[in-house]
Structure 1
Amino acid sequence: MVITDHSFAGEDFERAAAKDLDADFAVFHATTEAEAIEAVRGADVALVNFAPMTAAALGAMNPNGVVVRYGIGFDNVDLDAATRLGVRVCNVPDYGADTVADHAVTLTLMLVRKVAQFDRALAAGGWPSATELAPIRSTSETTVGLLGTGRIALAVAKRLRPFGFDLIAHDPYADPDVAAAHGIDLVDLDELFRRSHVLSLHAPATADTRGIVNADNLAKMPFGSFLVNTSRGALVEQDAVLDALDSGALAGVGLDVFHPEPLTPDHRLRAHPHAVLTPHAAFYSEQSLRDLQRLAAEEAARAIRGEPLRCPVN
């Protein structure tokens, strides 16, 4: 049992699981394909954060190996190669849904109320009038569109409803009854962009969703709308977003994820006055990290014992 890479304070849950099962255990800090290959060579179970699990890395594992991805997404795992090689892949989709939802709602409220722009004006010595950054919509006049209706999106909806936002969503796999119970009207993709004053992204990066926030779709949104992304950077064409910000078509963005990451030091988003940025930190709270490591270690233990995996993705 190995950890290819992580950014946690320690590995108590993982070490305890390995000890209970009398499994060899090692921790690496792999960032490249070559380092990932060496980290997982001969491993039965690999707990993976951001290390690139390419076909070559997956092929270095023991037969019937299992990859446990720390987190929801598994973009860094070649899923097709894993399936072809007989490597099972699982994730931890439920460790921090509430924390990410809190972050998405925080960004939404900051954008709608233009908190960052007011703050920057005062920090620069100014004292803008309340109407200087007009228009500012009331929440009851604001439609929030959700791309996706998974755990996090539903948690966002639950938090936004008391503010009076109108909620719509697009998700081809949505359960209409669940959406209705959360006060969400399901719409097609075109209507999602046309009606959303705030578009909040909650979808995985797939062939259907990569680059879905592009120039054509942004042009459909109401002028002066907002974009929030706490899901996957690959959903967004960043140059198109910058163009929309510069033209005013987007009045602001709240972004926690980017493509690629990290943003280069000179990236224009960093200095844009209408961008609120966080460094892929929406998942973080002390509780969410404990839950992530505990659930990942429990999944690894199930793999070693030969039990059914809780959250397989292939």
Structure 2
Amino acid sequence: MNIVIIDSNFQDNKPEQEIFQAAGLEVSFLSGTEEESLKVVGQTADAVLVQFAILSKDILSTWTRCKLIVRYGIGYDNVDVEAATELGIQVCNVSGYCLDEVADHTAALILGVSRRLLPLHQAVERGEWAFEPIVKPMPKLADTQVGIVGFGRIGERVLQRLRPFQYQVKVYDPYLTAEAALEKQVDKEDDLKTILEQSDIIALHLPLLPTTQHLLNAETLGWMKPTACVVNTSRGALIDTVALAHALRAHTLGFAALDVFEQEPLPAQHPLRDCGNIWLTPHAAYYSDSSLLELQRSAAEEIVRWVRGEQLYSPVNRLA
């Protein structure tokens, strides 16, 4: 059984190696992620672990031996899942990792935006003390409506964190049934335009799919209040960031707080950098002292389950 780690940015891969060793499996490492190297690895590996490398249909079509891809992380848009399915390759992610960290980061951004912490901090740095002209409008939290777009495990955790602060929270998710919303005591909105029009803060918690790419664009951003804020800790390409920068500069949108971007690292000349009315964090919402260790172990454990013929914890495609 040949297992290959294609790429990762961890300090080391000892957690995976320990798990594979305990299961009697060996792992090797790909030295580079150039296209030709990626094509070769799938001809010799039975299973691969991947973090950032793009596994396109062109690459996967050469993988005559590989039968399993496990992606380090929740998102898997760097893997052509449709092509993998056609080729009989099982794709898995690590869906249970960093849920609390991302929810905490999101809630922290929402609270910081609500209390105008950035402009207040900047005012003190400038030597100013009269703050009312800077922070208005600033309704109390109980008068602030948050719209959570996407109500999976992270979206639900964000709601749990916001409830003690008495925010008015509505949820938009086409896959959330009325029965499930009632059971979870969720105020469900069935129309995206309505939740964008009514919310003071929008928090995105969606996978990146063809149907969700640029969900927030010039048109849909225009539905929002000029004082509203967008928070995105999910996938960068859910937002047309050039359109977002234009809306922020024109003050047709009040604020944005982003942890993820269409291109990472965020390019030095990207217009978002000069907006002013924005918080930018470097795709750090997933991080805690324990989250990366959890990610590495969980990814390796999925491969061990596959080798043993056990039920997989987080498959993202279904093979015939």
Same fold (TM over 0.5): yes
- 2:249 matched residue in structure 1: 246
Secondary structure of 1:191 counterpart: helix
- CA offsets, 1:257-307, max 9 Å, x none? 110222111212123211100111111112211211111111011122232
CA apart distance, 1:39: 4.2
The letter of the residue matching 2:271 is R
Residues matched between the structures, number:
314
Q: Could you tell me how far apart the structure 2 residues matched to 1:32 and 1:265 are?
A: 25
- 1:34 matched residue in structure 2: 36
- 1:192 matched residue in structure 2: 195
Q: Could you tell me how far apart the structure 2 residues matched to 1:117 and 1:196 are?
A: 21
Of stretches 125-134 and 48-57 in structure 1, the one that deviates more from structure 2 is 125-134
Secondary structure of 1:106 counterpart: helix
Secondary structure of 1:10 counterpart: coil
Q: Could you tell me how far apart the structure 2 residues matched to 1:226 and 1:33 are?
A: 40
- 2:223 matched residue in structure 1: 220
Secondary structure of 1:98 counterpart: helix
Q: Could you tell me how far apart the structure 1 residues matched to 2:40 and 2:126 are?
A: 51
Q: Could you tell me how far apart the structure 1 residues matched to 2:78 and 2:96 are?
A: 19
Find 2:115's aligned residue among 113, 116, 130.
113
Are the aligned partners of 2:237 and 2:262 in contact in 1 as well (CA < 8 Å)? yes
Q: 1:89 to 1:175 in 2, by over 3 A?
A: same
Q: Could you tell me how far apart the structure 2 residues matched to 1:122 and 1:36 are?
A: 52
Q: Could you tell me how far apart the structure 1 residues matched to 2:31 and 2:222 are?
A: 43
Secondary structure of 1:286 counterpart: coil
2:38 is aligned with 1:44: no
TM-score (norm 1): 0.94
CA apart distance, 1:182: 4.4
- 1:259 matched residue in structure 2: 262
- 1:82 matched residue in structure 2: 84
Deviating 4+ runs (over 6 angstroms):
none
- 1:283 matched residue in structure 2: 286
Q: 1:32 to 1:127 in 2, by over 3 A?
A: farther
The letter of the residue matching 1:66 is L
- 2:207 matched residue in structure 1: 204
Of stretches 298-307 and 128-137 in structure 1, the one that deviates more from structure 2 is 128-137
Q: Could you tell me how far apart the structure 1 residues matched to 2:151 and 2:123 are?
A: 36
CA apart distance, 1:37: 2.7
Q: Could you tell me how far apart the structure 1 residues matched to 2:182 and 2:107 are?
A: 20
Are the aligned partners of 1:31 and 1:50 in contact in 2 as well (CA < 8 Å)? no
Q: Could you tell me how far apart the structure 2 residues matched to 1:218 and 1:303 are?
A: 43
Find 2:277's aligned residue among 274, 279, 282.
274
CA apart distance, 1:32: 3.8
Are the aligned partners of 2:256 and 2:278 in contact in 1 as well (CA < 8 Å)? yes
Find 2:67's aligned residue among 65, 68, 79.
65
The letter of the residue matching 2:96 is D
Secondary structure of 1:184 counterpart: coil
* Aligned Cα root-mean-square deviation (Å): 1.8
2:154 is aligned with 1:152: yes
- 2:4 matched residue in structure 1: 2
Q: Specify every segment of 5 or more residues in structure 1 that has no aligned partner in the other structure, as ranges.
A: none
Are the aligned partners of 2:48 and 2:66 in contact in 1 as well (CA < 8 Å)? no
TM-score (norm 2): 0.92
